[in-house]
Chains A and B, each alone.
Chain A
């Protein structure tokens, strides 16, 4: 297969074996990238293969295991982190892609003296978890949800927190925690 395909043909051009590799069937030799990532205000140097996701870089390489791996497929929100202040999914983000961006994880949310972020405190107060596995993702998502101005009503909180699943079904308490934190942060 070559990339010299005809006009009108999609760029995704499936070869004989059915995978749309659109090119030579030889695998390119994996290269290693030397990256500098800014995480919670600190710069980390690391060498990774291009396919390494931000989630695996955080957990396996930098031992920041607060960010959880649920589905690894963009469907559950457990891996939510902030990139330049906006919530994203670390499992669908390549580490290489966020070089030069500012990354915040759950470990970077509390003050240096240990004072919890208003959203963390509200989750404790409202008992907004059972097993706690989804909680770092819920909290990172909630911080951004409030900042975006999408926490105006319970209905809006439910819609804009829909990307964070909780298998324990703690949803009513999560909504209460987000509502409380939004009120506190507004005043």
Chain B
């Protein structure tokens, strides 16, 4: 790891000013930044430690909305009683991510900024070609080992999977990210690679995430996060779904439904076609399975990741059907 200079910010204002310095990168929990610095992927000139800023870790949750400070720890949000009751999918996405130790370090703001786990991206010594690291250098994954790579939202420049869990639930429930001067939908905060794979987030130099805000809804209250992976725990998703459900008074007609996908796309992926196909329809297995297939429209595989095209609709359908069985 190359050395850097270290600055501790004691306010958001100080962090913003410092973050605008050339070569500056913010440090919150450090679980992405220190990891990537060790890989030789991140080479900050200055590290701005924001983890000591007071008050930025507040968690304020009611039935109408949740406001979660950028420095709140993943573990604290996951275990928060009101998050569990009003936004169960958010709690489940968090406790199924990483490990207990990492969740005690990692913050909500840092979580949104985590980078892809594409093994070529993480290994600059052996794989110089990576459009995400070095625009125009090519993509080592295309034609390489692609078992973990995305099937939705890919481009000729990059097929890296967005690895996180929390943002899948945030996209399903139309959360916003607060950057101080502006607020934007989490869905718009993440950028698909297109021709500019190096741009993953709509964030400008000097901007600091201060909080995320999740509107409450009946679908958010009856929600779940289903994560399928190569081993039972401590692994990134092969495919995952955040699902929320609201039924009519008859207890079987779908009034509102939210579906978002993880592990299969280049950014947190809202499956609107599935939602539209199910609204007003009865909650039965055949209808749900048929609608879930719509999530894969336009999917493109690169060989070894072909299984994700079959897996993801099953994950969606299982999540919806299991949710339907809970009262």
Contact = CB atoms under 8 A, between A and B. Distances in A.
Q: Say whether A and B bind each other.
A: yes
Interface of A: 1-5, 7-14, 16-24, 27-28, 30-31, 33, 49-51, 53, 72-74, 77, 80, 86-89, 92-94, 96-97, 100, 141, 144-145, 148, 150, 158-164
Interface stretch (B129-137, B214-222, B267-275, B311-319): B129-137
A71 B207 CA distance: 33
Contacts of B132: 14
Contacts, number: 175
B205 A20 contact: no
Given A19-B133, A27-B45, A8 B204 contact: yes
Contact of B41 (A19, A23, A28): A19
Interface of B: 1-6, 8, 19-25, 27, 30-31, 34-35, 37-38, 40-47, 49, 51-52, 75, 79, 98-102, 104-105, 124, 128, 130, 132-135, 137, 191, 198-207, 233-234
- Mostly helix, strand, loop or mixed at chain B's interface? loop
Nearest to A1: B22
A28 B5 contact: yes
B104 to A, nearest CB: 5
A86 B73 CA distance: 11
Contacts of B35: 73-74, 92
Given A2-B22, A27-B2, A28-B3, 12 more contacts: A3-B22, A3-B24, A11-B207, A18-B134, A19-B42, A51-B3, A88-B101, A92-B34, A97-B49, A144-B100, A159-B233, A161-B100
A7 B202 CA distance: 8
A10 B203 contact: yes
6 contacts: A14-B132, A22-B25, A51-B2, A77-B101, A88-B105, A144-B100
- Mostly helix, strand, loop or mixed at chain A's interface? loop
Contacts of A1: 22
A14 B198 contact: yes
A148 B124 CA distance: 39
Contacts of A145: 100
Interface hub of A4, A17, A33 (most chain B Cβ within 10 A): A17
B200 A92 contact: no
A89 B101 contact: yes
The 6 closest A-B pairs by CB, nearest first: A163-B99, A23-B23, A18-B134, A23-B22, A50-B6, A162-B233
A11 B203 contact: yes
B25 A11 contact: yes
B113 to A, nearest CB: 8
